[in-house]
Amino acid sequence: MVKSPEPSIEPGIHSSKVTERINATALELLKKHANGLRWSELVSMIMDSDPAFHPKTVNGCVWKLVEKYPDRVYKPSKGIFRLLEYK
């Protein structure tokens, strides 16, 4: 029996947790770009949104975006991230 993924919890942009803020920013940016964003564009935009974010933390969060939010984000092709609602 195949177990469906648990629905992901909405990350908060004002959370005290850095990774939650990064994930919330990533999801917000993907919502504004219906065609999706390349990995490098997404990382750059997240870094521009808050220079206090550590680059390695941003890389790790973006790298795990599809794994953490399989009910929201998918990769239509290598290096592109897109929201499922735009599939």
Query: What residue segments make up the domains of the chain, in order of their start?
Result: 18-86
Q: Pull the structure tokens for residue 13.
A: 């942009």
C-alpha–C-alpha distance, residues 67 and 63, integer Å: 8
> How many alpha carbons lie under 13 Å from residue 7 in its C-beta half-sphere?
2
Architecture of domain 18-86: Orthogonal Bundle (1.10)
Hey, is 33 helix, strand or coil? Answer: coil
Close Cβ partners of 32 (under 8 Å, ≥ 6 residues apart) = none
Q: What is the pLDDT of residues 8-67, one digit of tens each?
A: 667 777 778 899 999 999 999 999 999 999 999 999 999 999 999 999 999 999 999 999
pLDDT of residue 14: 77
What is the DSSP secondary structure assignment for residue 77, as one 8-state letter? S
Q: pTM of this prediction?
A: 0.84
Which amino acid makes up residue 25?
T
